[in-house]
Structure 1
Amino acid sequence: MPIDVGRALSAEPRTTDLAWDHKDVLLYHLGIGAGAPATDPDELRYTLESRLHVLPSFATVAGGALAAAGGLGTPGIDVDLAAVLHGGQRIELHRPLPAAGRAVQSSKIAAVYDKDKAAVIVLRSSAEDGDGPLWTSDTRIFVRGEGGFGGERGPSERLELPTREPDVTVERPIREDQALLYRLSGDWNPLHADPDFAKRAGFDRPILHGLCSYGITLKAVVDTVLGGDVSRVRAYTTRFAGVVFPGETLRIRAWRDTPEPGRIQVSVTAADREDAPVLADTVVEHAPAHP
């Protein structure tokens, strides 16, 4: 069988040395749409090295490492890359990310779930530098056609959206070249750039990276709900529910203190396609505002 669950779960963690500097952070921020308007003081926090604050979702590309690709190289995992989808992402921050640094990232398969017609692989990664832990992330990898092996189904909780009106609704336009810019941070999958490859994968044209939508959304929540303070973010979780095409517009709705203080529930849809789902089951956990 392509997935040997026992072997995958018992495999030794893989370690990777990560390094980044302000140029990597600036490129990532531009890749998720920062810098418009270019002279806006709030945007300069993301685009000017002398004022640089690091958006926590940068952890998904720090050092150019691709967590999903690393997980698929684990002993016991032998799957067709054409059947692989990024199902979900969670990042837990242990402290604010530095604008430049070196860290060691350790990754291992934390779970393999049987969804009948598909398998879900959970890759857990943790990074630390000389001062201690920086972040822990869970990457959920959905592999079509690899279920039915008799394993646990795993959690399948879905978050119901609040019935009240959102506290914040913003729209974020996606540039036509957004995917071309974002891929420079390390995800070179031709699905996001090559029209012929995208058509072979079943899409009319290249699609935006899910993690780009993930970053755009966190920036919008930080800017509109958390007063632009990236250090308040404690954790950020989402499920990738649908695709986005460059040139479209994301509609981001946020509900504060749902269902309890310190939690922001978020819905992200494609405004151009009758609010087709993009990100679901999305929560930003945060600390109180600094006194």
Structure 2
Amino acid sequence: MPIDAVAAVAAEPRRAEIGWDHKDIQLYHLGLGAGSPATDPDELRYTLESRLQVLPSFATVAGAGTGTAGGLSSPGVEVDLAAVLHGGQTVRVHRPIPVRGRAVQTSRVAAVYDKGKAAVLVLRTEASDDDGPLWTNDSQIFVRGEGGFGGERGPSARPVPPDRAPDHTVERAIREDQALLYRLSGDWNPLHADPEFAKLAGFDRPILHGLCTYGMTLKAVTDTLLDGDPTRVTAYSTRFAGVVFPGETLRIRMWSGDGRIQVAVGAVERDDAPVLVDTLVEHS
């Protein structure tokens, strides 16, 4: 069987040294649409090195996203990448990410779940520097056709949607060139740039990276409800429910709670077709 769950979970973590500086942070933020208007003081904290703060979702691209790629090549994991879907993402930050840093990153398969028609790999990437842990990054990867091996189904609990209107709703436009800019942070999948490749995958044009939508949403929540202070975010999780195309508009609904913000994201131009669901921002 292409996935040997026991071997995958038992494999030694892969270890790599990664580094970043203000240019990596700025490029990532620009790829999320930051910097418009360019002279807005609220945007300069994402784009100007002398005022720079770091969105915790940067952890998904630190080291050019090598943690997830390493997990897919772990012992016991032999899959057809055409059958792979990014199902969900969780980032937990143990302290604010510095603008410039070096860290040791370890990646491993934390769990393999049997969903019947698909297997779910939980690829865990942890980063630490000389001062201790920085972040824990979990990617939930669906592999179609690899279920049915008799393994655990995994957790099924999901956030209960609030039974009221959103406390805040904002819209964020996606530029036509946004996927081209975002991919410079490390995700070179031609699905997001090459129209011919996109057609082979069943789309009439390239789609936006799910992790770009993920970062855009965290920025919108931070700016709207956390006084523009990304250091207040302690954890951020979502489930990817649908694709987004460059040129579309995200409608981001937010419900505030005690240290938690629930979020739902839809595509305005497609009757609010779900994009991100079961989305939760935890904060101080």
- Settle same-fold status: TM greater than 0.5: yes
Distance (Å, rounded) in 2 between the aligned partners of 1:255 and 1:66: 33
Q: Give the aligned residue type for 2:15.
A: T
| Cross-structure match for 2:54 | 54
SS of 2:58's equivalent?
helix
What are the equivalent positions in structure 2 for 1:227-238 lying under 5 Å apart? 227-238=227-238
Q: Give the aligned residue type for 1:208.
A: L
Deviation at 1:165, TM superposition (A): 1.2
Q: Give the aligned residue type for 1:98.
A: P
The list of structure 1 runs, each at least 4 consecutive aligned residues, that deviate by more than 3 angstroms after superposition, is none
Cα pair 1:67 1:139 within 8 Å, conserved: no
SS of 2:26's equivalent?
helix
**Superposition TM-score, scaled by structure 1 size:** 0.96
Deviation at 1:65, TM superposition (A): 2.6
Distance (Å, rounded) in 1 between the aligned partners of 2:2 and 2:76: 7
Q: Give the aligned residue type for 1:148.
A: G
| Cross-structure match for 2:194 | 194
What are the equivalent positions in structure 2 for 1:262-281 lying under 5 Å apart? 262-281=259-278
SS of 2:253's equivalent?
strand
Distance (Å, rounded) in 1 between the aligned partners of 2:16 and 2:241: 30
Distance (Å, rounded) in 2 between the aligned partners of 1:88 and 1:126: 17
SS of 1:26's equivalent?
helix
Distance (Å, rounded) in 2 between the aligned partners of 1:74 and 1:16: 14
- The answer to whether the aligner puts 1:285 opposite 2:276 as a matched pair is no
| Cross-structure match for 1:108 | 108
Distance (Å, rounded) in 1 between the aligned partners of 2:168 and 2:17: 39
What are the equivalent positions in structure 2 for 1:1-291 lying under 5 Å apart? 1-257=1-257, 261-287=258-284
Q: Give the aligned residue type for 1:49.
A: E
Distance (Å, rounded) in 2 between the aligned partners of 1:66 and 1:221: 27
Deviation at 1:155, TM superposition (A): 1.4
List gaps (5 residues or longer) in structure 2.
none
Give the fraction of aligned pairs with identical amino acids, expressed as a percent. Answer: 74
Distance (Å, rounded) in 1 between the aligned partners of 2:78 and 2:57: 28
Distance (Å, rounded) in 2 between the aligned partners of 1:241 and 1:84: 14
Change (3 A) 1:46 1:56: same
Cα pair 2:68 2:107 within 8 Å, conserved: no
Deviation at 1:157, TM superposition (A): 2.4
Cα pair 1:66 1:187 within 8 Å, conserved: no
SS of 1:236's equivalent?
strand
Deviation at 1:67, TM superposition (A): 3.0
Distance (Å, rounded) in 2 between the aligned partners of 1:69 and 1:39: 37
Deviation at 1:17, TM superposition (A): 0.8
Q: Give the aligned residue type for 2:43.
A: E
Distance (Å, rounded) in 2 between the aligned partners of 1:268 and 1:110: 28
SS of 1:65's equivalent?
helix
Q: Give the aligned residue type for 2:190.
A: P
Deviation at 1:226, TM superposition (A): 0.4
Question: Structure 1, residues 118-164: CA drift from partner, whole Å, max 9, x if none?
Answer: 10000111100011110011110111111111111111223332121
**Superposition TM-score, scaled by structure 2 size:** 0.99
Distance (Å, rounded) in 2 between the aligned partners of 1:239 and 1:157: 12
Residue-pair matches, total: 284
Q: Give the aligned residue type for 2:77.
A: I
**Aligned Cα root-mean-square deviation (Å):** 0.8
Cα pair 1:18 1:65 within 8 Å, conserved: no
